Amino acid sequence: LGATNRLAVLQHSSLKRSIKSPEDLNRLDRIAIGGPNVPLGEKTREALAAHLPSINRVIVGRNAEQVFRLVESGEVDAAVVYLSDAAFAKDSRLSFVISERLHTPMKYWVALLEGAPEDARLFYDQLATGETTIIGLQGSRWAQGEISQ
């Protein structure tokens, strides 16, 4: 039992240009991505390897949360974020979702440990139905994703 996520590009609401593909990122002044030692950064480099060298100025964030904050604050024109985080954007908008064919899959596995409390068992059983779209708590926000068995 597990869940998946995707990469997406958010652009700050003040940016007037339309960004619809990885090629369009080359026209931006500043783009934020995750660092090379965090999962978001690894997947971004994998997906955009052909495009990153030609982007004028890449700002590297320590983690996914910082990358998200950089685009929300307008410090960068756009950022590569998790699609589950994009749902919480207030000062930026979704430009496009990066094709899953460009990077290895992002999978999050769920396991129920022996002796788990009843609430955990109920949550696991709900996930196992395949009808659940809310998959977990990220910081203080609920994240939405796809469930697979």
Tell me the pLDDT band of 37, cut-offs 50, 70 and 90: very high
Which is more confidently placed, 43 or 5?
Answer: 43
The whole-angstrom separation of Cα 16 and Cα 27 is: 12
Q: Is the pLDDT of residue 47 over 70?
A: yes
Q: What is the pLDDT of residue 142?
A: 40
Q: What is the pLDDT of residue 76?
A: 96
Strands 78-82 and 30-34: parallel
Distances from the Cα of 35 to the Cα of 23, 38, 133, angstroms: 21, 6, 29
Tell me the pLDDT band of 34, cut-offs 50, 70 and 90: very high
Q: Is the pLDDT of residue 82 over 70?
A: yes
The whole-angstrom separation of Cα 39 and Cα 82 is: 10
Q: Is the pLDDT of residue 40 over 50?
A: yes
Q: Is 94 exposed, middle or buried (0-12, 13-18, 19+ CB in 10 A)?
A: middle
**Of the spans 18-32, 43-57, 120-134, which averages the highest pLDDT?**
18-32
Tell me the pLDDT band of 132, cut-offs 50, 70 and 90: low
Distinct helix (H) and strand (E) counts, the chain: 4, 10
